[in-house]
Amino acid sequence: MEHSPRLAVFVLAVAALFAGACAAPFDPGEEDAGDAASQAVRSDNALTSNALTSNALTSNALTSNALTSNALTAGALARNPLTAAALRDPAARSVLKYIAGCALPAGERILLEIDGVEVAFVGELGLAPRWGEKGGACDAECRSWVSGCVLARLNYLGEKVSISLRGDHEGLRANKAERRAYPRQEATYYGDIFAEEPLYYACLAPGASSIPRVCGPSLDGCVLDVVGPCGAACEKQRDDGSFPGCRAMVRGRSGELRPDEPPYPGSLSVFLEER
């Protein structure tokens, strides 16, 4: 295995607390989702907004392009001088942890030698598995899925919480037990964290007026552009409660808000445990 330049080791310590959301519970009904394994993400959902917006990996357009234009592998990350240099930044390594977890399937990992210590960036959901193959790259659809997933794992206080991620993707199936354990709709997340000017969007679940886990006590100053209710910004709600095909909202000539084009295929809805 080829190794990256020697980097400084960074350990992010977080507390295991919980912040709820103000939305009505989703009724999982009696539909059986089969024997698909639960995709609830029960740890490490503690990405801070500061790490996302100021890291050297995705907040720099040249480095972000170098990342998505090449395979998400140890060799590609180490060989490219832009990504290798960016990963000296602790915030960049924090973001890469979530990128790898979202893109790569469980059982796969990226091993990089950091200051003589081998550090693993572990796959989890497999939303863009081809990116991790030799010669792979992250196209527009890949960017959408990985972006929605990373944004869904933001936390205002940098705390670990337990969430259920759902969406129109094979890697996001939620079985009946998971739906019952995580009934509270929070929000749907989408955008493009790799764009030259990164796009961070969220829409509110039915009945919700805030996203305290991600935005804190108020939507004012939230790192995300909260566009309003998901019912207005997205396509028809799916049976699992998730909202697909969400869009940004723009103001028309007469002042009304309407969905922009095109929709984001990688729209991920988050559900929380009952309080």
Count of other CB atoms within 10 angstroms of residue 185: 27
Evaluate whether 240 touches 33 at the Cβ level (below 8 Å).
yes
Taking alpha carbons only, the member of 96, 91, 170, 87 closest to residue 128 is 170
Residues 6+ apart with CB under 8 A from 197: none
Q: Pairing mode, if any, of strands 163-166 and 268-272?
A: antiparallel
For the chain, the domains span 40-272
Structure tokens that stand for 153 in this block: 């794992």
| DSSP assignments along 94-139, one per residue | HHHHHHHHHHSBTT-EEEEEETTEEEEEE-BB-SSGGGGSTT----
Residues 147-188 have pLDDT tens digits of: 999 999 999 999 999 999 999 999 999 988 999 999 999 999
Are the beta carbons of 63 and 189 closer than 8 angstroms?
Answer: no
What pLDDT score does 67 carry? Answer: 98
Mean pLDDT by 10 residues, the chain (275 residues): 33 30 54 49 76 95 97 95 92 95 96 83 96 97 98 95 94 91 96 96 97 96 96 95 94 75 95 89
Residue spans of alpha helices (H) in 153-239: 176-181, 212-215, 230-233
Report the C-alpha gap between 66 and 61 in whole angstroms: 9
The model's pTM is 0.85
Nearest residue to 269 (alpha-carbon basis) of 20, 26, 15 = 26
Asked if residue 212 lies in contact with residue 186, where contact means CB atoms within 8 angstroms, the answer is: no
pLDDT at 41: 57
How many helices (H) and strands (E) in the chain? Answer: 9, 10
Amino acid type, 193 = I
Residue 251, helix vs strand vs coil: strand
Q: Which residue has the tokens 């305290």?
A: 212
Token match 């942890």: residue?
97
pLDDT of residue 14: 27
Give the H or E element holding residue 188. strand 184-192
